[in-house]
Structure 1
Amino acid sequence: MRSTGGTKLFLICCCLLFGLMVLQAEVFGQPANENMTDEKALILAEQFGIDVGEVDEEVKEILGLTKAEGVVVYAVIGGSPAELSGIKVKAIIKEVDKYEIHTLVDLGTALEQTLPTKNFTVATYEPADPDNQGVTGGLNFHFVRILQD
């Protein structure tokens, strides 16, 4: 049986598409994870030591942000890796290691990848404090080390 040029072209296109899907994690800095949910992300965040939520319009207005995107820290659990690394309430989590954070699912996926390593970096944006005139918000890097008993 002889294959046609159309069949070869179809197979080449399928292989290229599959290759792009496999490389998606490296290109966008985030592993593809369809199994992550908001609930699972909240559980992983609690294991890390933070209570978080997605930035919505209300949070955007309160913190004076330019857009409603990211994950905001509502509480930090005492004695947790998050507290020991210096993460503060009202901070916006921007990145966990090389993974950019835009949603709770992004945070959950990143924590799922990095918590087992016990050694990673979290980048946060801390908005300006209106009570402290002259000091603007900024990007902070927190080095996380999870100690075992």
Structure 2
Amino acid sequence: MADDILERYANLRLDDEDGGVVDLGTVNSMPSKDKFHLLLIGRIKNLPFNCRSDDDVKEIVANWGEVIEVDEDILGLDRFRRVKVLLNVTKPLRRFQRIIDKGGRVVCVEFAYERLPFFCFACRVIGHAEKECEMVSEESKKVKLW
């Protein structure tokens, strides 16, 4: 039986699978700015009726990061819009934004994020939890809240 297995895999080589072998010696090891960005889907909630167009949504989330896609809202009846954005994970996530609608009223819209990875609620930065946060005091870390 062992001879049968050896015979089957005798001609198998690493460079035959998936387009060859990657030579890491030729890769530049400088940190890339892409390593600090994450593609997230966010919801903008409580949008006024007159601020639900794609251009309005892009303007609201312009300071988040690069807008990749805005979900289609054909009828414009939903009170939220979903947006796919490339975010810088070293900056805190926004929870709300005050906007001036087209009627001149100041409105507070809320942001909700879908499928967040490790997220610190103390400093609002992605990448670590409250246990590892430098902003949380040692006394709070000793209390078993997690």
**TM-score category, normalised to shorter length:** under 0.3
Q: TM-score, normalised by structure 2?
A: 0.23
Relative to total residues, which structure has the larger helix share, 1 or 2?
1
Q: TM-score, normalised by structure 1?
A: 0.23
Larger Rg, first or second structure (1 or 2): 2
